[in-house]
Structure 1
Amino acid sequence: MRIYGVVGWKNAGKTGLMERLVGALVARGISVSTVKHAHHSFDVDQAGRDSHRHRVAGASEVMLASGARWALMHELRSEPEPDLAALLARMSPVDLVLVEGFKRSRHPKVEAHRRETGNPLIAIDDPSIRAVASDVALDIDRPVFDLNDTVSIADFILKEVGL
């Protein structure tokens, strides 16, 4: 599977860029899946529901299934957080997996950057960041795209991964 990442500091525009890229790529006939890293605990389940009760009771995995979708929840009770490769191994094949976060992984990435956050560029010290999508002009040694120019960013990513 081909993978490409979107990284950046908090409020840099990562999720909006991911959302626009998925839509633009799917519209071109590219099959896309996503992986999102969360730095905090999260729950896709609801307290009191049957599946939540199964997890609280100690189930290692709980699968929810309906006519519209299925979801597998795996509890990391005493296991370390899996790395990106382990997570990707669990996914069904697609043309491209877009990864939001996992900035320390070595896969190729584009950095989302907004001046108003006041954060430094990650790209300066990270050669795995192949381009920057920003709301301001930048003078760096990699391509810089307007943060809202989804078509150009999508073209760049597709060229990078050979699609």
Structure 2
Amino acid sequence: MDLGKKMFFCMFSGQESKEIILKSNFNDDFFDVKLGIVDYDHPIKTNVKFGNRFYDVLFFDDGVNIVVSKRLFTLLKTNEITGWKTYPLNIKNVHENYYGFQIVGRCGKLMEPKNEGFYKGYKFDVETWDFSDFFSPKDTSLVFVNQKLKELFVENEITNIHLVNIKDVEAYTDGL
């Protein structure tokens, strides 16, 4: 399959005004949490570190993990979106329902230039992709989504995310 015929997007924080940032209280490695390597059957307890506005996607202060609103959770379930799972979450003094969010879809490693420096565009061997709607390249905490999911997000005005075509992302490699 030719990657050039598929469109993928990298999901970043929307950095919305006064967004709530949650205190990360994980006993496990942040990356293991995000990538669904660890499971939780009991609610993870957290609290608002700063901010006062709720959005569909909130972020922890670890810079890696995210939570999703009940509205987004329901949208993903209803549309049979793949490549994710959730864990229970208890945000102190907050009555809105949010879920810890983990990416379980995968693809192989990103192909990076051999020379150190900035480059434009993430690339991966599409044959390594498991065809999930949400997925993460091996050895990264990046979140990629397919065109179907991007359209669903736009159509439903999902808040506090920013989607960039992976061909347009600027990145840095140390050339190793």
TM-score, normalised on structure 2? 0.22
Higher strand residue share: 2
Rg larger in structure: 1
**Higher relative contact order by CA 8 Å / sep ≥ 6: 1 or 2?**
1
TM-score, normalised on structure 1? 0.23
Higher helix residue share: 1
